[in-house]
């Protein structure tokens, strides 16, 4: 099935390279951890898809207000100070160099509980950043007021480095910070394309296309994880696959390329597995002897993903289905072939459509191929 994409939706879309994208913030919401922690996020986003910045700011503000009512999470912060009594460890070199003992003081290094943690600094920075994006003045004022409140409580304005933030682990006692931190991360991500391309996030420079490819992959996985019921579907992303090697020379494994699937959907009721490989590029290219053809390398790749896992004791892998998923460029494609017992589907999703249409298209790919071919299944 090949159909023309609607011109109306494309007129409202910007572009990443040649890919028309109506709302890149919707993809960023699907790709974020916010959908895992907040049931409200997906519902609100689908109701008001063009106000995602306001939605994220509102969720972040609500989470920060709740944490401030219960007290912000504390963390240990290393400090150095000249004190009149010993606290922690003595800094002998500084004490002698400054002759502090003669003045009744001693240089000490110690740790203390403080709200000025990398997590809280990141949240404050996210509040200040997202306040520049929201369209409602009251919400903008609310975010700035909460950032000022955090400053008054002792949270400094220096944004933490990535290493500092990655070292911050959320324990059981501060699990309530998860939604706040997820909203803060998405708020900061929303600011990045806006700062690089002005108030409208698209078009984006070519150097961002690699980022967009990764975003598309994460958005598809995040969508299925949030929308498909966990009681029936097991959704996995970034799953590594092993080569079924019977023998290899000494150095072969060192240079053998790895295999990693983008998204794997296991239907626990129907005993189905769908292996999805996302590509942020056109689904067809100019052929040697014909005008358009599928990109052979991508088709070979999904074939290897499927066939390399058969006959290894996994019944789902033996009949797994493959889906090559691309964004639509000018036309939508949804076709399938049957190869050695595996249905391989190559399809496009129209990112220039509204959120309801994107949702319907993605959900449709979780249904078995219903074309007119001989391997139609119900």
Task: Express as a percent the part of the chain with pLDDT over 90.
Answer: 46
pLDDT, residue 190, reads 77
Q: Is the pLDDT of residue 140 over 90?
A: yes
Contact, 125 vs 157, CB < 8 A?
A: yes
pLDDT, residue 99, reads 92
Contact, 354 vs 8, CB < 8 A?
A: no
Instruction: Give the range among 1-15, 92-106, 110-124 with minimum mean pLDDT.
Output: 1-15
pLDDT, residue 78, reads 85
122: exposed, middle or buried (C-beta count within 10 Å: 0-12, 13-18, 19+)?
buried
* Cβ-Cβ contacts under 8 Å for 375 (sequence gap 6 or more): 338, 343, 369
pLDDT digits (tens, 9 = 90+) for 213-267: 888 999 999 999 988 999 999 999 999 999 999 999 999 988 999 899 999 999 9
**For residues 107-115, average pLDDT:** 90
Q: Is the pLDDT of residue 10 over 70?
A: no
Q: Is the pLDDT of residue 169 over 50?
A: yes
Among the listed residues 171, 225, 211, the one whose alpha carbon sits nearest the alpha carbon of residue 34: 225
Spatial separation of the C-alpha atoms in residues 275 and 262, rounded to whole Å: 8
Instruction: Give the range among 74-78, 254-258, 269-273, 369-373 with minimum mean pLDDT.
Output: 369-373
pLDDT, residue 200, reads 40
Q: How many residues does the chain have?
A: 378
Q: Is the pLDDT of residue 196 over 50?
A: no
Task: Express as a percent the part of the chain with pLDDT over 70.
Answer: 84
Average pLDDT score over the chain: 84
Q: Is the pLDDT of residue 49 over 70?
A: no
pLDDT digits (tens, 9 = 90+) for 348-364: 999 988 888 998 999 99
Q: Is the pLDDT of residue 195 over 50?
A: no
Cross-strand bridge partners of residue 264: 236, 275
pLDDT digits (tens, 9 = 90+) for 51-103: 778 888 888 998 899 888 888 888 888 889 999 999 989 999 999 998 999 99
pLDDT, residue 75, reads 83
pLDDT, residue 292, reads 84
pLDDT, residue 5, reads 52
Among the listed residues 13, 34, 11, the one whose alpha carbon sits nearest the alpha carbon of residue 22: 13
Spatial separation of the C-alpha atoms in residues 356 and 205, rounded to whole Å: 28
Q: Say which residue the tokens 């509204």 belong to.
A: 354
Among the listed residues 93, 126, 121, the one whose alpha carbon sits nearest the alpha carbon of residue 107: 93
Q: Is the pLDDT of residue 8 over 70?
A: no
pLDDT, residue 2, reads 59
Spatial separation of the C-alpha atoms in residues 45 and 50, rounded to whole Å: 8
Instruction: Give the range among 66-75, 167-176, 338-347 with minimum mean pLDDT.
Output: 167-176
Neighbours of 205 (CB within 10 A): 11
pLDDT, residue 378, reads 37
Backbone angles phi, psi at 143, to 5 degrees: -65, -45
* Cβ-Cβ contacts under 8 Å for 337 (sequence gap 6 or more): 343, 344
Neighbours of 18 (CB within 10 A): 11
């Amino acid at each position: 099935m090949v159909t023309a994409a609607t011109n109306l939706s494309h007129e409202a879309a910007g572009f990443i390279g040649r890919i028309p994208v109506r709302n890149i913030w919707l993809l960023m919401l699907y790709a974020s951890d916010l959908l895992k922690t907040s049931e409200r996020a997906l519902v609100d986003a689908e109701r008001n898809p063009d106000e995602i910045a306001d939605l994220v700011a509102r969720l972040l503000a609500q989470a920060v207000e709740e944490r401030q009512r219960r007290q912000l999470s504390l963390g240990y912060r290393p400090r150095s100070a000249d004190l009149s009594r010993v606290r922690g460890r003595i800094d002998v070199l500084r004490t002698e160099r400054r002759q502090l003992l003669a003045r009744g003081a001693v240089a000490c290094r110690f740790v203390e509980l403080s709200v000025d943690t990398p997590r809280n600094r990141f949240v404050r920075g996210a509040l200040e950043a997202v306040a520049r994006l929201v369209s409602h003045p009251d919400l903008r004022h609310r975010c700035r007021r909460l950032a000022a409140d955090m400053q008054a409580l002792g949270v400094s304005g220096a944004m933490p480095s990535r290493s500092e933030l990655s070292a911050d682990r959320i324990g059981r006692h501060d699990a309530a910070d998860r939604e706040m931190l997820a909203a803060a991360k998405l708020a900061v991500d929303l600011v990045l394309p806006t700062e690089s391309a002005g108030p409208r996030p698209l078009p984006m420079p070519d150097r961002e296309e690699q980022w967009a490819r990764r975003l598309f992959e994460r958005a598809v996985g995040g969508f299925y994880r949030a929308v498909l019921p966990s009681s029936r579907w097991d959704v996995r992303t970034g799953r590594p696959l092993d080569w079924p090697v019977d023998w290899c020379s000494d150095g072969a494994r060192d240079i053998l390329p790895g295999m990693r699937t983008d998204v794997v959907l296991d239907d626990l009721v129907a005993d189905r597995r769908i292996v999805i490989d996302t590509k942020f590029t056109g689904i067809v290219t100019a052929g040697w002897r014909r005008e358009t053809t599928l990109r052979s390398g991508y088709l070979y790749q999904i074939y290897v993903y499927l066939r390399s896992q058969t006959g290894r004791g996994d019944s789902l892998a033996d009949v797994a289905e493959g889906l090559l998923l691309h964004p639509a460029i000018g036309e939508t494609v949804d076709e399938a072939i049957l190869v050695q017992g595996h249905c391989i589907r190559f399809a496009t999703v129209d990112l220039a459509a509204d959120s309801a249409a994107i949702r319907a298209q993605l959900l449709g790919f979780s249904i078995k191929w219903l074309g007119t071919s001989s391997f139609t299944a119900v």
